[in-house]
Structure 1
Amino acid sequence: MALLHAEGMARHVRLPDGSQLHILTGVDLEVEAGEHVAIVGRSGTGKTTLLNLLGLLDKPSSGSYMLDGVDLLRLSERRRSRLRGARFGFVFQQFNLLAGRTALANVTTPLLYARGKQFFQRSELAAQALDRVGLGDRLESTSDQLSGGEQQRVAIARALVRQPQVILADEPTGARDVETGGSVMSLLEEQAHEFGTALVTITHDRAVAARADRILRLDHGVLAPETAPLAEVSS
Structure 2
Amino acid sequence: MSLVSVRGLQKSVTLPDGSTLEILRGIDLDVEAGSTTAIVGRSGSGKSTLLNVLGLLDTPTNGTHEFGGVDVGRAGSLRRDRIRGADVGFVFQQFNLLQGRTAVENVEIPLLYATGKDFWRRRRLAIEMLDRVGLADRADTQPHRLSGGEQQRVAIARALVRSPRLILADEPTGALDVDTGRIVMELLETVAAETGAALMTITHDAAVAARADTVHRIDHGLVVDAFEEAAA
Q: TM-score under structure 1 normalisation?
A: 0.93
Aligned positions of 1:68-217 closer than 5 A: 68-217=68-217
- C-alpha distance 224-34 of structure 1, shift in aligned 2 (>3 A): farther
1:5-45 deviation digits (Å, cap 9, x = unpaired): 11110111223343321111110111111111000011111
SS in 2 for 1:158: helix
Distance in structure 2 (CA, Å) of the matches to 1:69 and 1:192: 20
SS in 2 for 1:73: coil
1:106-151 deviation digits (Å, cap 9, x = unpaired): 1011111111111011011101110111112211122122211111
Identity of aligned residues (%): 62
SS in 2 for 1:97: coil
Distance in structure 2 (CA, Å) of the matches to 1:4 and 1:224: 19
2:65–2:73 CA contact under 8 A, matched in 1: yes
Q: What's the CA shift for 1:226?
A: 4.1
CA RMSD of aligned residues (A): 1.4
SS in 2 for 1:163: coil
Distance in structure 1 (CA, Å) of the matches to 2:15 and 2:98: 35
Q: What's the CA shift for 1:204?
A: 0.4
Distance in structure 2 (CA, Å) of the matches to 1:87 and 1:13: 27
Distance in structure 1 (CA, Å) of the matches to 2:209 and 2:147: 25
Distance in structure 2 (CA, Å) of the matches to 1:216 and 1:203: 11
1:39 equivalent in alignment to 2:39: yes
> Where does the alignment leave 5 or more consecutive residues of structure 2 unmatched?
none
SS in 2 for 1:22: strand
SS in 1 for 2:137: coil
1:59 equivalent in alignment to 2:59: yes
Counterpart residue type for residue 168 of structure 1: L
Distance in structure 1 (CA, Å) of the matches to 2:95 and 2:16: 33
Distance in structure 2 (CA, Å) of the matches to 1:148 and 1:24: 32
2:148–2:175 CA contact under 8 A, matched in 1: no
Stretch moving more, 117-126 or 138-147: 138-147
Distance in structure 2 (CA, Å) of the matches to 1:205 and 1:30: 22
Identify the residue that residue 9 of structure 2 maps to in structure 1: 9
Q: What's the CA shift for 1:178?
A: 0.6
Distance in structure 1 (CA, Å) of the matches to 2:41 and 2:54: 17
Counterpart residue type for residue 35 of structure 2: E
Identify the residue that residue 30 of structure 2 maps to in structure 1: 30
